Amino acid sequence: MANYLGIDVGSITTKMVVMDEADEVLEKVYLRNNGRPLEAIQQGLEILSSQLGRGDSIDGVAATGSARHLAAYFVGADLVKNEITAHSIAVIDLFPEAKTIFEIGGQDSKVIVLRSGVVVDFAMNTICAAGTGSFLDQQAARLGLSIEEFGRLALKAKHPVRVAGRCTVFAETDMIHKQQIGHSVEDIIGGLCDSLVKNYLNNVCRGKELLPPMVFQGGVAANPGIRKALESELETDLIVPEHFGLMGALGAAKLAKRAKPQQTQFKGFELTKRSCSTRGFECNECGNQCEVIELLVDQEVVAYWGDLCERYRNTEHRKNF
């Protein structure tokens, strides 16, 4: 039976899913990047290699996420797709009646509007990261709490306070002020969750027709405080998928399965044993002044991207390692 690998490399985390022909998730990986996505990809491949049986092969690979091109060049992906497509495919296959997808990740958030299994509209946050996973992690750490404790305490709020949630800086300043005048931690966290949800709905979701059934996914879907606040504001129950934090990778795996490459370009799990790095330079050959990125494996340049005219991508410098 064929197996397909989906890779979703985001701003904070790297997710990988191995799926079989029956759409069963065989293995999965969820790692923090710690600012080093290539190392996270290698670590994820190493974990999958140890989990899969010797006879298990990878017959197709797709990459998505903000670092999808980096992942694709490195592992040898057969397909590269944006996050909207990957997340939508995963939801449509699991919940064909879904009409709205809320996806909140490490540093970005998005809303996807579906009608009859087709994406008809979407939006992403542009500047502010208030309400995303990295901001919630930061506030939990400032309060000396784990992110799990942070979410649970929000449910204990009896009188959630009003927190300025339109900006990460203002929200943190307002939280400190509320602590100093004596509000309980529970009420402050509960108020923060309420404010962040209103900010998300008023900015990212502005002008969108939000209809049930609604799916909530992304790493922040694990936070019960945000989920409760979102359900309360929308006055409806949300569907939280089993693999809510892996839906991008799952969608990528499904897309790889649909593509059914005759011969996968996947370079194998041996990539975990090879040295890899990236470096950038500014091309001055024309007025575009592109910031070109080089991928090096074992100290050799094997790929370029970022050049608008493809001056470097179309040269002999790109090697099939």
- Residue written as tokens 């602590």? 179
Based on the fold, state whether residues 79 and 168 are members of the same structural domain. Answer: no
Q: Is the pLDDT of residue 236 over 50?
A: yes
Same domain for 110 and 204, yes or no, is yes
Is residue 206 located within the same domain as residue 190?
yes
Among 240, 263, 292, which residue terminates a domain? 240
In this structure, the answer to whether residues 16 and 85 fall within a common structural domain is yes
The whole-angstrom separation of Cα 61 and Cα 8 is 11
* Nearest to 184, CA basis, from 143, 146, 148: 143
Query: Are both 45 and 125 inside the same structural domain?
Result: no
Q: Is the pLDDT reported for residue 321 higher than 60?
A: no
Of the two residues 163 and 184, the one the predictor is more confident about is: 184
Answer yes or no: do 109 and 200 share one domain. Answer: yes
- Quick one: DSSP state of residue 22? T
In a 13 Å sphere around the CA of 291, the CA atoms on its Cβ side amount to: 3
Q: Domain check: are 9 and 65 in the same one?
A: yes
Q: Residue 54's pLDDT is what?
A: 67
The confidence band for 287, taking pLDDT boundaries of 50, 70 and 90, is confident
Looking at residues 93-99, what average pLDDT do you find? 95
Per-residue pLDDT at 131 exceeds 70 = no
How long is the chain?
321
Q: Are residues 100 and 236 in the same domain?
A: yes
Pair 316, 182 in one domain: no
Do both 235 and 100 map to the same domain?
Answer: yes
Could you read off the pLDDT of 256-270 as tens digits, one per residue? 999 988 899 998 898
In the β-sheet with 238-239, what is the strand arrangement from edge to edge? 118-124, 109-115, 100-104, 214-217, 238-239
Nearest to 307 by CA among 293, 321, 318: 293
Instruction: Identify the residue with better confidence: 305 or 9.
Output: 9
| CATH code of the domain containing 43 | 3.30.420.40
Rounded CA-CA distance 43/72 in Å is 16
Q: 207-224, pLDDT tens digit by residue?
A: 999 999 999 999 889 889
Mean pLDDT of the region 44-52 = 92
Residue 24 CA to residue 1 CA, distance in Å, equals: 12
As given in the structure block, the two tokens for residue 72 are: 């694709």
Residues 228 and 122 in one domain: yes
Q: Can you say whether residue 10 is alpha, beta or left, with left for phi > 0 and alpha for psi between -120 and 50 degrees?
A: beta
Residue pair 210/95 in contact (Cβ under 8 Å)? The answer is: no
pLDDT at 59: 94
Regarding whether 66 and 11 lie in a shared domain, the answer is yes
Q: What is the token pair recorded at 35?
A: 């600012």
Q: What total number of domains does the chain contain?
A: 3
Cα angle vertex 105, ends 99, 111, to 5°? 25
For residue 134, what are the domain limits?
A: 96-240
pLDDT band for position 55 (50/70/90)?
Answer: low
CA 284 – CA 178 distance, rounded (Å)? 52
Give the other-Cβ count within 10 Å of 107's Cβ: 14
What one-character DSSP code corresponds to residue 285? Answer: S
d(CA 257, CA 221): 26
